[in-house]
Amino acid sequence: MADYEAIANGVIAGDEAKVVELTRKAVDEGAKPMEIIDEGLMSGMGVVGQRFKADEMFIPEVIMSAKAMSAGMEIVKPLIVGGESASKGKVLLGTVKGDLHEIGKKLVGMMMESAGMEVEDLGIDVSAEAFAKAVKEKGPDVLGMSALLTTTMLAMKDTIETLKEEGLAAKVKTMVGGAPVSSDFADEIGADGWAADAVSAKDMAVEFVGAK
């Protein structure tokens, strides 16, 4: 039985080597990849979030935890990303301008890849203009934007408006997500969709591509 609690504790302690070792061990023991993510890696990051909020952990420690979590996710990723060659749609993903949070967005990308979609990650702190340029050049089916800060959510609106101004909005489905983003907010800014988590985001992208 894989020791998910130890993986979570490794994330909380920001101990990348430990997380890598325990995640590999869990994989070798045949643990389900999604269980490793949910009950180990993400569970640890949830505690980090609570402690960060309560001023019991500070940015350098949170960065160490985020790095440890990412290192674990890199090990699990090949196991959930299917090796299908025929793409089931193209998705561009990015964290909006002013926002440096990337873990949730990476998870969303992994889920979409696992469904056979071609995913291009534009990174963090992506401006409305950069999103629009990428849509113009790469012609994706779906553009996904992530925001973790209440102060950066409005950058999603800017991006959708820029797409409209450049005549690109009808060519791509836009979807938004991230902890502070709600379905109501998505409607308000004219996004085509909102998803609460990585699995729902993947389901929505698949639906968007299927409806095209």
**Binding region for ligand B1M (CB under 6 A):** 42, 45, 48-49, 52-53, 59, 62-63, 66, 98-105, 107-108, 144-146, 148-150, 175-180, 195, 197-198, 201
- Of 29 and 74, CB closest to ligand B1M: 74
Burial of 187 (0-12, 13-18, 19+ CB in 10 A): exposed
Compute the least distance from the CB of residue 78 to ligand B1M, in Å: 19
In the complex with ligand B1M, the residue whose CB is nearer, 49 or 116, is: 49
Contact criterion met (CB below 8 Å) for 119 and 89: no
Residue 81 near residue 110, CB atoms below 8 Å: yes
The nearest distance, CB 34 to ligand B1M, in angstroms, is 11
Contact 42, 11 (CB under 8 A): no
Position of tokens 């025929």? 86
What secondary structure does DSSP assign to 99-147, as a single string? Answer: ----HHHHHHHHHHHHTT-EEEE--SSB-HHHHHHHHHHH--SEEEEE-
Least distance in Å: CB of 12 to ligand B1M? Answer: 11
Q: Give the residues across from 176 on adjacent strands.
A: 145, 194
CB of 29 to ligand B1M, least distance (A): 24
The structure tokens listed for 23 are: 């995640």
User: b/e per residue, 199-211, with b = 16+ CB within 10 A?
Assistant: ebbbebbbebbee
In the complex with ligand B1M, the residue whose CB is nearer, 150 or 183, is 150
Joined tokens for residue 92: 């561009």
In the bound state with ligand B1M, the residue whose beta carbon lies nearer, of 6 and 124, is 124
CB of 95 to ligand B1M, least distance (A): 8
Minimum distance between the CB of residue 27 and ligand B1M, rounded to whole angstroms? 19
Contact at 8 Å (CB) between 8 and 18? no
Judged by beta carbon, residue 83 or residue 90, the one nearer ligand B1M is 90
- Which CB sits closer to ligand B1M, 78 or 180? 180
